[in-house]
Chain A
Amino acid sequence: MLTAPVLNYSLLAPILVVLGGALLGVLVEAFLSKAVRPAAQLAIALGTLVLSFAQIIRVRNLTSLTAAVNSVTIDGAGVFIQGTILVLAFIALLLIADQDNFAAQASAVPGSEEERSAIATGKIQTEIFPLTLFAVAGMMLFPLASDLITLFVALEVLSLPLYLMAGLSRRRRLLSQEAALKYFLLGAYSSAFFLFGAAFLYGFSGSLSLNGIAAAITGGQGNDVFLLIGIAFLSVGLLFKVGAVPFHSWTPDVYQGAPTPITAFMAACTKVAAFGATLRIFYVGLSAAQWEWKPIITVVAILTMAVGAIAAIAQRDVKRALAFSSIAHAGFLLTGVLALNKSGLSASLFYIVAYGFTTIGAFGIVTLVRDSAGEVTDLNRWIGLGKKSPFISGMFVLFLLSFAGIPLTSGFIGKFSLFNAAYETGNITVVVVGVLASAVAAFFYLRIVVMLFFTEPTNDSVTVVIPSIMTRFAITFCALVTVVLGVYPSLLLNTTQTFANFLK
């Protein structure tokens, strides 16, 4: 007699709400008239995220902590990461909804008559909203997934919409499509590695669940060759998603080519989700085998910090520069993975929040700097922008200072607590490299500050457009979070310490 598995829908509610909202968005896209569609899509998307957040608050207080036959674990760190993704996605959606950033008809050939008539008659598709929601649902499942199948499915559910979203830019469509192609081919390549690693971890332990793998490592009865192959290939897949060196080469291309609001969304939310999953896999599944993977991940973390910070200096495009800075931040976050203790986890959670808001704010400002042809991302044309629009430039400087880890910004507290956790575990090398990389990166950030404020403007065609209420809210909110977390870090530090636990 076959018994139906207990899925525990009430615990899965935050994810299911988002998926439901995405499906509703698909229906709206098909059946509503083009006049009301953008507003309806935005309302559905934002409403879904709020509703899902309410579900998270409810789930937090429930006692049963695994759902879907132990393949999803709802624990402190998982819930915290889910909440972070939702808030970040909400802010990113405000940027996404704002201006005409997306291709009217993604299937129309760039520069064709079809494209022109679609824009002229207002036949504009709004599928970006359901796609965003599908990606958010995958991101929310990824850090909670505690078996290898669920991890793989969640990884694909979050990636597939992102591949498409990267190719939807209205201006510079060839660049955008190229970014989508590169992101897709390399992303699929890395998920094949992930899957092959998953197969070998299953071969080692005879179990697909992270707990089963951990038990098999402790028991020591499996074939160690399978374990090593499994860890290596699984790590390649994960390190690709977080954008760590040597698997980072897609990051600058995709960040530059994708529409800027999408870049903001994926830089912040994807990194949060991917680090959530990475932390869970290494803390819960593989911590008993730490002597096998720690040396490799240490080298990767050091390389990531160094390459990210040094390569950022040479960039002339602001989106590419921010991409390399996000690579460096992935390196800093890897030191939290290496710490393997509660303070490391708590510091990582804090850092994820600080990094996410700062990133969305910085890319939000990039969407505002324009000339007649669209966004201007060439750093040389940003020279002297501080004289023209001191307020927006000042905000940008604030975000850069937070990236650099200057005191009184959230980035400082994040870096301090991460390095502190790494130092506690005796990982001095990583801390030294981290501090040096921060210093190198600070040079790069301060160079931009000098360009913005202390150099005479040369080019007059670049202007900062007056932001709409949504963008204004998004950027202001990010700036507030950056400052408040820098001045009163205990507001969040206490929370991350309470939430910093994985259910093993």
Chain B
Amino acid sequence: MDISNYLYLSALLFTIGAVGVVVRRNAIVVFMCIELMLNAANLAFVTFSRINGNLDGQVASFFTMVVAACEVVVGLAIIVTIYRSRRSASVDDASLLKR
């Protein structure tokens, strides 16, 4: 199989994630879309690692996973706090700062 197909898949996943962040309203779903984008980048890293014939890309994908896990910890903490004080996780409801 042509290895560049993995790059197309990666670009597709990234686009789905990027569009999802813009159109979805629930903070958790928005966050899942961001995770999808990070995983798309991971897939690109691993594919390029295969294409370039060195291991740097695979190492990078491990770092990405760790950082993504940290991001989940911080992100869910913020989303849960805002849900507890507003009883809603919709990003549209959080609009006090708009003038």
List the A side residues contacting B47 at CB < 8 Å. 203
In angstroms, how far is the closest chain A Cβ from the Cβ of B13?
Answer: 10
Q: Are B57 and A177 in contact (CB under 8 A)?
A: no
List the B side residues contacting A195 at CB < 8 Å. 37-38, 41, 64
A196-B85 in contact given A160-B70, A181-B79 (Cβ < 8 Å) = no
> How far apart sit A316 and B99, CA to CA, in the bound complex (Å)?
10
User: Taking the complex as formed, is B23 at the interface, i.e. its CB lies under 8 A from any CB of chain A?
Assistant: no
**Contact-residue bracket for chain B:** 35 or more
A188-B56 in contact given A152-B64, A175-B96, A179-B97 (Cβ < 8 Å) = no
Q: Which of A107, A178, A184, A199 interacts with B44 by CB under 8 Å?
A: A199
In the complex, chain A residues 187-207 whose Cβ is within 8 Å of any chain B Cβ: 188-189, 192-193, 195-196, 198-200, 202-203, 206-207
In the complex, chain A residues 255-300 whose Cβ is within 8 Å of any chain B Cβ: 256-257
Q: Are B67 and A152 in contact (CB under 8 A)?
A: yes
User: Taking the complex as formed, is A40 at the interface, i.e. its CB lies under 8 A from any CB of chain B?
Assistant: no
> How far apart sit A174 and B82, CA to CA, in the bound complex (Å)?
8
Contact with A along B6-24 (1 / 0, CB 8 A): 0100100010011001000
Q: Are A156 and B48 in contact (CB under 8 A)?
A: no
Q: Are B91 and A185 in contact (CB under 8 A)?
A: yes
Q: Which of B60, B74, B85, B97 interacts with A202 by CB under 8 Å?
A: B60
In the complex, chain B residues 1-60 whose Cβ is within 8 Å of any chain A Cβ: 7, 10, 14, 17-18, 21, 27, 30-31, 34, 37-38, 40-42, 44-45, 47-48, 51-54, 56-57, 59-60
> How far apart sit A45 and B63, CA to CA, in the bound complex (Å)?
28
In angstroms, how far is the closest chain B Cβ from the Cβ of A33?
Answer: 25
A149-B85 in contact given A185-B31, A189-B34 (Cβ < 8 Å) = no
In angstroms, how far is the closest chain B Cβ from the Cβ of A80?
Answer: 28
Q: Are A199 and B57 in contact (CB under 8 A)?
A: yes
In angstroms, how far is the closest chain A Cβ from the Cβ of B53?
Answer: 8
Q: Are A107 and B81 in contact (CB under 8 A)?
A: yes
In angstroms, how far is the closest chain A Cβ from the Cβ of B1?
Answer: 18
Contact with B along A13-47 (1 / 0, CB 8 A): 00000000000000000000000000000000000
> How far apart sit A107 and B80, CA to CA, in the bound complex (Å)?
9
> How far apart sit A90 and B19, CA to CA, in the bound complex (Å)?
41
List the A side residues contacting B52 at CB < 8 Å. 202-203, 206
Q: Are A106 and B81 in contact (CB under 8 A)?
A: yes
In angstroms, how far is the closest chain B Cβ from the Cβ of A333?
Answer: 25
User: Taking the complex as formed, is A153 at the interface, i.e. its CB lies under 8 A from any CB of chain B?
Assistant: yes
Q: Are B74 and A160 in contact (CB under 8 A)?
A: yes
List the B side residues contacting A193 at CB < 8 Å. 37
Q: Are A207 and B56 in contact (CB under 8 A)?
A: yes
List the B side residues contacting A185 at CB < 8 Å. 21, 27, 30-31, 34, 75, 91
Q: Are B78 and A181 in contact (CB under 8 A)?
A: yes
> How far apart sit A291 and B75, CA to CA, in the bound complex (Å)?
38
Chain B residue nearest to A147 in the complex (CB): B56
In angstroms, how far is the closest chain B Cβ from the Cβ of A191?
Answer: 8
In angstroms, how far is the closest chain B Cβ from the Cβ of A257?
Answer: 6
User: Taking the complex as formed, is A167 at the interface, i.e. its CB lies under 8 A from any CB of chain B?
Assistant: yes
In the complex, chain B residues 75-95 whose Cβ is within 8 Å of any chain A Cβ: 75, 77-79, 81-82, 84-86, 91, 94-95
A178-B64 in contact given A196-B40, A202-B57 (Cβ < 8 Å) = no
In angstroms, how far is the closest chain A Cβ from the Cβ of B37?
Answer: 4
> How far apart sit A160 and B66, CA to CA, in the bound complex (Å)?
13
> How far apart sit A192 and B86, CA to CA, in the bound complex (Å)?
28
Q: Are B38 and A184 in contact (CB under 8 A)?
A: no
> How far apart sit A181 and B81, CA to CA, in the bound complex (Å)?
10
A196-B44 in contact given A156-B67, A156-B71 (Cβ < 8 Å) = yes
List the A side residues contacting B97 at CB < 8 Å. 175, 178-179, 182, 252-253, 256-257
> How far apart sit A256 and B48, CA to CA, in the bound complex (Å)?
42
List the A side residues contacting B79 at CB < 8 Å. 181
Pairs across A and B, CB under 8 Å, 22 listed: A149-B59, A156-B71, A160-B74, A173-B85, A177-B85, A180-B81, A181-B27, A181-B82, A184-B75, A185-B91, A192-B18, A196-B14, A196-B37, A198-B41, A199-B10, A199-B45, A206-B54, A207-B56, A208-B56, A253-B97, A253-B98, A257-B97
- Known A-B contacts: A152-B63, A189-B37, A203-B7. Give 5 more (CB < 8 A): A160-B74, A164-B78, A174-B96, A196-B40, A203-B52
